[in-house]
Amino acid sequence: MYEPQAHPGVPALFQELPSLLDALCTETSEVQSETVNKCLPFLKGIHNSQAGPFNRFGVPSLNQNDHLIYLYDSLEDYPEGFAGMDASRPWMVYWVLAGLSLLGEDVTKYRERCAAAILASNYHLSIQRPCLNPLSSVISTFTPMQNPTGGMGGGHGQLSHCASSYATVLALAMVGGEEAFELIDREAMWRWLGSLKQPDGGFRVCVGGEEDVRGAYCAMVVHSLLNLPLELPPDAEARQHGLETFTSGLSEYLSRCQTYEGGISGSPGSEAHGAYTFCALACLCLMGPPEVMVSRCMDVPLLLSWLSARQYAPEGGFSGRTNKLVDGCYSHWVGTCWPLVQSALNGVQSATGPERVPANLYSREGLTRYILGCCQSKFGGLRDKPGKHPDSYHTCYTLTGLSSTQYYHYHTTSSVSSNEGFGSAYSWKCTPIPASDDSSSDQNVFDEKDRLKAFHPIFVVPHAAAENLRTAGPRSAARMVDRIDRFAREALILNNMSICLCRRRHWAEPAYESYAVGGGYTCIVRVNNREYQTEDVCESKTLAEENAAMRAYLICRNFSVNDGMYPAGHEHRGGPIQGIPVAIGTGRKGRYGDETDMSTSGESRSGGSSPESSEGRLDRRGVGPTRALAFGHTAPAILGAATTRGGYNGSAHMQPNSGAVWMPLDRRWFRAGIPGGSGMRNTRTKEQLERLRLRDRTGGVQEEQKGGDSGGKLEDAMTKGKLLTTPSRLFKLLIPLSTGYQGEHKAILVHPQQPLSHLERLIQSEVPAIKKEDGQTRPPTVSFIALQIEDHPIRPRKAVYEGTGAEVHQLDEMGRIDDGEGKRIPTEDDTYTYLRRTEPSKKGEESEGGGRREQRFVRWSQSTEIGDFIRDAARAREFIVSVEGAPAGVHQIRVAVPSFDERTYFLRMRLRKISGRIKGIAEIKHECDALAHRGAQRVAMGGLGILAMWWYLVYRLTFETDLGWDTMEPVTYLVSLSTLMGGYLWFLYHNREISYRSALDFTINARQKKLYQEKGIDLQLWESLIDEGNTLRKEIKNIAAEYDVEWDERKDERDQRVTEALKQERTQKNGNKRRDDEEEDGD
């Protein structure tokens, strides 16, 4: 049997099995042998997936173009199977940006918020970079992940975690720019990191999480890059145990993590691991020079022995633990440990360059051969090992390991200064190692065109990126102090003006009360016997007081009672009040949300009227009297409330004048004026007016009956929600979570595969907490109720006691219950008035109650997937969200559910668009296929003609000439044998089997491809359109099955040729599934 020969440049070490093999056969040894056998063909350069070219050492080149395409594609949308990776979004962004940076791409284009303005440009090859979209912006992606208490979570509303914060900071460092650097709240980050510091010197990965080396490394990298104060915050738990700085006790903790093997474990007493070893060594080198810290805290000879044992032969790659397989990602986790250890052994070097380049402590050649030979996928991206699929994680860290083999990293004293706690971490330099250098004992086998960019061995980002983010820290701190001083001056000016206005109105001077809350400060100001709180938690006490001073100024300058007249019974009855009337105040803002002040106009001296809390939101575009009045984020709800409560119809009352906005509210005229205005209205106010006029024209604003109670249409309008679908196949839930008329609808994005408990936590974060008897608070219970249709409703036999969602409904045998356990409600039809409705029966159906059947709502388990819940709720076209503790009448929020047509709208529109493109290509493709088949028929008929001529010639020569059968028999035999030998030689030369498929490729397919090129048909585009069309069709079919409806795909496919093309592809894909799986396994 023919066996391909290995490339002559590959040494024998990488062509043969190890000379020493353990005779004991175990599952571990079997898997190891299987891995070696998979790697050997790649190392020899004989695997059929390796198209080359190979250099003189038998190493394939780095497929940079394919890897770039793969990484850019990794920034696009992911299929629904990646929903479980939602918390890893910061990591996914970092992995892709790091991979692009290593390959020489400029990632700063992902910095801007309006990334869509960036035009696509070309690679050095004929592949185009994709146009970016706003979601591609690193800043817009990471902004909602930051928590007010400090740190970054995996997504909006998720717990802050060291790993997520680490990935976020590194990604921001790579994109660079002042806007990216200022995104992180450094003070909050400093306090949050201080809360993770433990008394034994280590760090937790999150509040209440595990303590390990990974948390220490991530925390120290974030701390160093952001240039945070070295001292622990005053409220840090570690300070109570005698620790004063972030580095106190850390080196001792890391030293205790070294195991008997020599490697470093995640925590004392655990197994040594390559990734934890890198984290510990990088953490030590970050705190001081490696020749000091590593030598003092680690058993270096034992560490060297363990690290050396991680590189295997003949593979050349690294394993993460003892008796484990090689993995491409450990090219970084273990491979980058070597520069740190080598620098600890060599000592400090000159800043101008290393005095000498010592011999390698590990085989750079072996690691390079493993990465370039075994880890590259022919479709782009890098992988764990042969037989595995590529991903952005392995692509990033495998390229990082390859970059480490191409540079000599050394530590200098150039950046060390006495006033920097982590100065030694920024003292690393690197020198390129010559490609294909034969003078070294361990030759370098990569080509210069395959050289990657150098990364910092500690921070795993480019050296310049780490330096830029580090140096931006002092500037940001100085600007923060500057800003606080300026705000203090503004607060003093505003306070003096407020005092003058209060004296003019015979009010007491404004009083301020500041106090610290989680992650910042807030301030309460008392004006005219009413308290108002700053809208947001501020980063400093000074800023909170400045917000409160602005609030006090607006209250003093803008107030209204009785159309500008003092209330009845007042000593100045009949006299006008000077000032600009505005909306009613909301009172104190609670810790978890607004606690609406429902006081009437007669409960205060000024009639209880004062500006809305949103008007006190700071607009930092001006100072003092010249500052324009700006609406906050609740402005749309204020306008909506004004139009509903004002008792008017249409927009005739909306008459904006120069410098003022007129609004009817509470049957009186109010004007939101612009202090010092000169005819220019605030831009945001004009936008709200335009929105209000649009609502009036479309009939969105309706008149409320005069004399009505607090319920009615206003209450009903604010308790209606809606569920929408997005082009990314997520659900967008619009739901009013505020209990007051000034609340806006909240938009929540959820994935169909997430459980209802996830949606419950998102809603709990937006509503006020429940206060228990002991003074503690807990989140309210959120229930989800959907319709269950029953022809014979089952009514309760006993009284039902209704309490909060967190209480247990108890019923005793006599139908009684202790007082205080719940509220007894009747058992008649109105028992479930908010959970039950009736509708006429369908034709031909009969039920009790006069032909009407009952629809009963049931409460669903929180572990139910959202998609399953929505599928069942779609039958009633709505479901109910019940929030515990909400006021009566608004704790049952009805949410409209999209129908099948609404839910599949984007999918069907996309399918129609793709069908149109397929139709245009299919018409041309059909003509090419017909021509190719006619050409194949001519070839087949020609072959038949040649056989017929051969038969006739043999017949004539045999029976009609003197040659006879004795002569023609050996001739025909030799001709047939020669034909077989020629076919076999063709097989050996082309390395292809002679089959019907190869003959088809040689005739019809070759003719088709030529015709496609002439007609300009892109086969790759055709296949992608067909695949996407079948994927969309399958997804719509699945949704139709969920809704139990019949979907006519021909209506959306729009053409019979499109339907046939999609069907043909599905049939061919099912028939060739086994062959494709075998080819994929072989890769």
Could you give the strand order of the β-sheet that contains 720-725, starting from the edge strand earlier in sequence? 745-750, 731-736, 720-725, 892-896, 878-883, 782-790, 852-859, 836-840
Q: Are strands 720-725 and 892-896 parallel, antiparallel or unpaired?
A: parallel
What is the sign, positive or negative, of the torsion defined by CA atoms of 262, 267, 271, 277?
Answer: negative
As annotated, the active-site residues are 273, 321, 324, 327, 329-330, 384, 391, 394
Q: 324, exposed or middle or buried, with CB in 10 Å at 0-12, 13-18, 19+?
A: middle
Distance of CA 1034 to the CA centre of its chain: 26
What one-character DSSP code corresponds to residue 1005? I
Farthest CA pair distance, the chain: 146
CA–CA gap between residue 746 and residue 721 (Å, rounded): 9
- Structural tokens at position 589: 């803002």
Strand-pair partners of 353: 350
Q: 558, exposed or middle or buried, with CB in 10 Å at 0-12, 13-18, 19+?
A: buried
CA–CA gap between residue 75 and residue 81 (Å, rounded): 16
CA–CA gap between residue 128 and residue 150 (Å, rounded): 39
- Residue among 744, 743, 696, 741 at smallest CA distance from 715: 741
Whether 491 and 498 have beta carbons less than 8 Å apart is answered as no
Q: In sequence order, which residues have a C-beta less than 8 Å from that of residue 1027 and are 6 or more positions away?
A: 1065
- Structural tokens at position 571: 């000593």
Q: 1036, exposed or middle or buried, with CB in 10 Å at 0-12, 13-18, 19+?
A: buried
CA–CA gap between residue 528 and residue 596 (Å, rounded): 18
The CA radius of gyration of the chain, in Å to the nearest whole number, is 37
Alpha helices in 505-597, H assignment, sequence order: 541-557
Query: In three state form, how does the secondary structure of 581-647 look?
Result: CCCCCCCCECCCCECCCCCCCCCCCCCCCCCCHHHHCCCCCCCHHHCCCCCCCCHHHHHHHHHHHCC
What is the sign, positive or negative, of the torsion defined by CA atoms of 999, 1004, 1009, 1011?
Answer: positive
- Structural tokens at position 384: 């764990």
Q: For residue 28, give the 3-state DSSP assignment.
A: helix
CA–CA gap between residue 1027 and residue 77 (Å, rounded): 16
DSSP per-residue string spanning 566-587: PPTT-TTTT-B--S---PPP--
Q: In sequence order, which residues have a C-beta less than 8 Å from that of residue 602 and are 6 or more positions away?
A: 567, 608
H or E element at residue 267: none
